[in-house]
Chains A and B, each alone.
Chain A
Amino acid sequence: MSEAVHPGASPVPVERAAAREASGETRTQRDTDLPDAELDRRLARTWGRPAGLVGWLSSVDHKEVGWRYFVTAMVFLALAGSAAMAMRAQLARPDAGLIGPDLYNQIFTMHGTTMMFLFAVPVMQAFGVYLVPLMVGARCIAFPRLAAFSFWVYLFGGLMLWIAFLLNAAPDVGWFAYTPLSGPQFSPGKRSDIWAQMITFTEVSSLAVAVSVIVTVFKHRAPGMTLDRIPLAVWAMLVTSFVVIFAMPAVMLASTMLILDRLVSTQFFNHEAGGDQLLWQHLFWFFGHPEVYIIFLPATGFVSSIVVAFAQRPAFGYLPLVLALVATAFLSFGLWVHHMFATGLPQLGASFFTASSMLIAVPSGIQIFCWIATLWGRRPAMATPMLFVMGFLVIFVMGGMTGVMVASVPLDLQVHDTYFVVAHFHYVLIGGAVFPLLGAFYFWYPKFTGRMMSERLGRWNFWLAFVGFNLTFFVMHVLGLMGMPRRVYTYPSDSGWGPLNMVSSIGSVMLAASFGLFFVNALWSLRRGVRAPSNPWNAGTLEWALPSPPPAYNFARIPIVTHHEPLWKERESLPVAHGLAVDEREILVSTLVEARPDLREVVPGSSIWPLISAIALSIAFVASIFSPYAALWGGALVGAALLGWFWPKSSHEDEE
């Protein structure tokens, strides 16, 4: 721990010495005999960060880092949404001339790339960073500095992409950047390199967060939180993190190979020199299909949390729900070829991937039925979080239906690269992930901020989103069946696609308005919302035992878990563990399966070095777009920054 955590002339050493003298053996002040108010005061000092800009930049508090992730992801959502609105404006009428083909290519690429890499994945990880430690009863996320570093890397990667857009250098090859189009021959200039390097930024960040989340769940669970008492939302984040670990290396490797092909003339994707264009598609979709589940699985966790809280009963089928998550994760790695049915693969292979694509409907169906069973016979209050869950059920099931349709080769060949596919994946992604996400935001907002969001605005938000979404995207199914290809910047009037495109664009205005209301509600409620109690929904998981918003140290004493909805089991008072240090950042390490207390470990505190390291890494990444030698000197720069990070700043830091 750095000295900066104790601003000014801290009395701690004196007290510690006194305590040492008094007890004769203990060096540190423990929480056991401290009264609650004194304990809170001491912990706030130990776990707080220094004030001021440097203190703000040095924060490793998972709640601050998670909140920054949210805000950043929401800004990227607004940017990518604006790109979508620009496209809808251009497509509203045939032969429109608002946007030319080159800009249109950049805009749809920016829309897809930003939504997938800078909004959907990071926003889900934001929930993981913020909520997982609270839900498992931990004082911080595992490797807090790594989580802070991840955030900065993500932010800088996103900034690079959007600054390139402002400089008319945005990628224009679609969010999956197929070779040979994205290769050196057909995409000279730096546009594709920007795309490939943005991938490197965001994947480094996502992978690091995934490791932090996994270790938090494995090693920092509160005593008694055995595997079968882990909240379903935490299971969802855990399984997602494993999918991240095994899926994202594929796209990192692929984008590195692409940039090598472009920068130093390797021949991976060049058919003339023995390379293979389809190799790109295999590597990309080996990541790209699991990516869909990286976005969807956390959302199922939100749905489980909201459904259980609103039904006021434990989830029906806890075990099948967990197994469905695991099954979906495994199956998600066996589906990638269904994105490539139009490439002329052997028929036997295509049949296998049709079967596995249809198979994934089984665990999804199990989840849907378990949620319905949990709600069965109850009259849940239709507050905004629950409205979004109901919207999710309707829209996601419809997206699942068209998913089963495009899983079969003959149908897929007909609608490949048409608006039918655009409609399908917006139904599963917006229905399956964004609706639960908005519900989750309304649900946990009181915990994040200490205020409730407006219900009245929330209802307007939901109904505008629901109607607007279906207007925008349902007609795209029909447009696709009429033959309208995706990624065209305009279409002739005698195609007959004009009226439905106009309907879609009108719907998109409603959808955009609903997001506008959402942002207004979130900002307005920050100051004016009704003050939230610690547990406004009477939910059962541990984060609701904390004040809203939670203090820097989360739990003054680590709770002991006796049920998978611990707050419903222990309604009078919560059993807690004691004996942790209060004058240094000491946390509990528990065993993997049974969560028995095993170690007390001191974790590092606030530090500016994660930011410095992220800046060094960003310099190396951006420079290596322009010169291969940047990989060498940039590597040395990053090494120096990491040395500054890891070298202990005081003898205090490595005690015990």
Chain B
Amino acid sequence: MKTRLAVDLSGLPPFGFDNRSPIWWGTLGFVAIEGMGFVLAVGLTLYLKHVNPHWPMDAAPPDLLPGTLLTGVLLASLWFNRSADKAARDGDLSGTRLWLVVMTVVGLATIGLRLWEFNALNVRWDQNAYGSCQWLLLGLHATHLITDVGDTAVLTALMFTKHGRGKRYSDVSDNAFYWSFVVAAWIPIYGLVYWVPRW
């Protein structure tokens, strides 16, 4: 088919942040999928709580300390996360490197706290349906912690190589966006794992 030139695209910028970027939308898509997974996990736990008269079943509620500590660390990490995002948006390489290193260290700390949490649940996964739910909720969220910390570590390493420029800044921003989701998803799960058994 014959064509005629009508619009010039050569002046367009080569990358953008937030909803201008396809990767941001891709991240949002996976956030929707995983968010749906969390919603269903919460829903099925409440369903099993509903069909069982006692919750927790034959077990003491989980120890509050590790989970609450983790919640505190996660909330505090939002500030570091925002700093990394801001440095990336400003194209500030040294700032981006600094905050990414901080986020990697904080992320590793959250994984350590998560291991402690499993030990403090006071129930095994195979003891009863309550135990299965507690382990499922913590486990599902743990996979997100591990994935994002891994991603952050790789991105941090990248920013210390010659690849740390251009579009990588918008990758850092998208990574920060995903971490905010991981933190936000934790809050209702924290309530369900630690406080609903104490209700």
Contacts and interface: CB of A to CB of B under 8 A. Distances in A.
Contacts of A577: 5-9
Contact of B8 (A142, A279, A579, A598): A579
Contacts of A65: none
Nearest to A266: B132
A343 interface: no
A572 B14 CA distance: 33
A148 B49 CA distance: 42
Interface stretch (A46-54, A113-121, A459-467, A599-607): A599-607
A215 B129 contact: no
29 contacts: A142-B22, A211-B26, A214-B25, A215-B22, A215-B29, A223-B7, A245-B33, A249-B33, A249-B34, A249-B36, A253-B37, A253-B41, A257-B136, A268-B136, A270-B129, A274-B52, A274-B129, A560-B6, A573-B1, A576-B7, A577-B5, A577-B6, A577-B7, A578-B8, A589-B20, A597-B9, A598-B16, A646-B154, A648-B158
Contact of B47 (A219, A279, A651): A279
Nearest to A639: B150
Interface in A214-267: 214-215, 218-220, 223, 245-246, 248-250, 252-253, 257, 260, 264-267
B154 A647 contact: yes
B3 A557 contact: yes
Contacts of B33: 207, 211, 245, 248-249
A474 B94 CA distance: 71
B48 A578 contact: no
A574 B7 contact: no
Contact of B40 (A30, A253, A572, A655): A253
Given A142-B25, A143-B26, A267-B132, 16 more contacts: A215-B25, A219-B22, A245-B36, A246-B32, A250-B36, A252-B37, A266-B132, A275-B132, A279-B44, A557-B5, A574-B4, A575-B3, A575-B4, A598-B20, A648-B163, A651-B163
Give 4 nearest A-B pairs by CB, closest first: A579-B10, A274-B129, A656-B14, A211-B29
A30 B150 CA distance: 38
A600 B163 contact: no
Interface string B110-127: 000000000000000111
Contacts, number: 199
A578 B5 contact: yes
A10 interface: no
A250 B1 CA distance: 46
Contacts of B57: 274
Contacts of B52: 274
B40 A249 contact: yes
A37 interface: no
Nearest to A546: B1
Nearest to B51: A276
B72 to A, nearest CB: 27
Nearest to A274: B129
A580 interface: yes
B163 A601 contact: no
A210 interface: yes
A560 B137 CA distance: 49
Contacts of A655: 166
A592 interface: yes
Interface of A: 26, 30, 32, 142-143, 146, 207, 210-212, 214-215, 218-220, 223, 245-246, 248-250, 252-253, 257, 260, 264-268, 270, 273-276, 279, 282-283, 286, 534, 545, 556-560, 567, 572-580, 588-589, 591-592, 597-602, 635, 639, 643, 646-648, 651, 653-656
Contact of A534 (B1, B132, B162): B1
B141 to A, nearest CB: 13
B5 A576 contact: yes
Interface in B86-140: 125-133, 135-136
Contact of A142 (B5, B26, B129): B26
B3 A268 contact: no
Contacts of A250: 36, 40
Nearest to A579: B10
A545 B163 CA distance: 39
Contacts of A249: 33-34, 36-37, 40
A576 B126 CA distance: 63
Given A250-B40, A654-B163, A276 B47 contact: yes
A442 B125 CA distance: 53
A506 B75 CA distance: 67
Given A253-B41, A265-B126, A279-B48, A654 B166 contact: yes
A500 to B, nearest CB: 42
A449 B12 CA distance: 35
Contacts of A276: 47-48, 51, 129
Contacts of A207: 33
B168 interface: yes
B16 A599 contact: yes
Contacts of B165: 654
Q: Which of A249, A260, A286, A591 has the most CB of B within 10 A?
A: A249
A578 B167 CA distance: 23
Nearest to B8: A579
B68 to A, nearest CB: 26
Given A142-B26, A245-B36, A30 B128 contact: no
B6 A267 contact: no
A32 to B, nearest CB: 7
A601 B22 contact: yes
Nearest to A600: B12
Q: Which of B7, B20, B166 has the most CB of A within 10 A?
A: B7
B12 A598 contact: yes
Contact of B129 (A252, A264, A268, A588): A268
Nearest to A602: B14
A508 to B, nearest CB: 38
Interface in B36-68: 36-37, 40-41, 44, 47-48, 51-52, 57
B30 interface: yes
